[in-house]
Amino acid sequence: MTFNVVEIFCSIEGEGKRAGVLAQFIRLAGCNLRCSYCDTKYAWDADCIDFTFKQLTIPQILASLREDVKAVTITGGEPLLAKNVEKLIASLIECGFVVNIETNGAVDLSPFQKVCNDGGKLFFTIDYKLPSSGMEPYMKKNNFLNLTEFDVIKYVVGSDEDVTAMLNTIQYFNKYYSECQKPMPQIYIGVVWGNFSAEKIVDIMKNNQSLINAHLQLQLHKFIWNPNQKGV
């Protein structure tokens, strides 16, 4: 059993609920979406000059990780496309790592949520793709209705149309979780790098009740390093 691994590295989490915290990243190859603003084409585009991967077993992946940094993020591409990835997730948890799965909203989460029901050991950061991505029609809506308070719904805003779509979906999710008497997953809002103003997002948050508990996120790694640099 092997996995197509693009890179394994240790850095800070650039975004999400662990932003600024040291974490280890396992980037797997392949993706089922083609977002207009994708900044990791080297993880799936065979025409990209930087597209390379190694086939590694679970023991080889574990041997590549530091034991003292317990936060691990599995990312891509779309990591949940990898065959047997649930076994990799389970192995990481068994070794004491706290695992964040970055997923694009277009893969059914339910088989992977069964790996571990402890949100302190496994949580999902799931993108809701907005219109400017070109991928909104591929969103599996049920994914967003079966999350926990440990999980994150992530939006990347690139246009005013995106803002409208984001607000509409958040209002729907708020209503759904309230009616089901279940805690709402966390909401994180970012912007397409160079295309939309973070200041405008703050104004939108101040003027929309549904965003009172939302988080603005900036891609810290793009401020610290060259925005196109890999392995950071």
Q: What is the pLDDT of residues 26-62, one digit of tens each?
A: 999 999 999 999 988 998 877 777 788 899 999 999 9
Q: Write out the two tokens for 35.
A: 């977002």
pTM for the predicted model, two decimal places: 0.94
Is the pLDDT reported for residue 201 higher than 80?
A: yes
- Whether the ω angle into residue 105 lies within 30 degrees of 0, i.e. cis, is no
Average pLDDT taken over every residue of the chain: 94
Q: Which CATH fold would you assign to the domain 3-224?
A: TIM Barrel (3.20.20)
Report whether 5 contacts 53 (CB < 8 A). yes
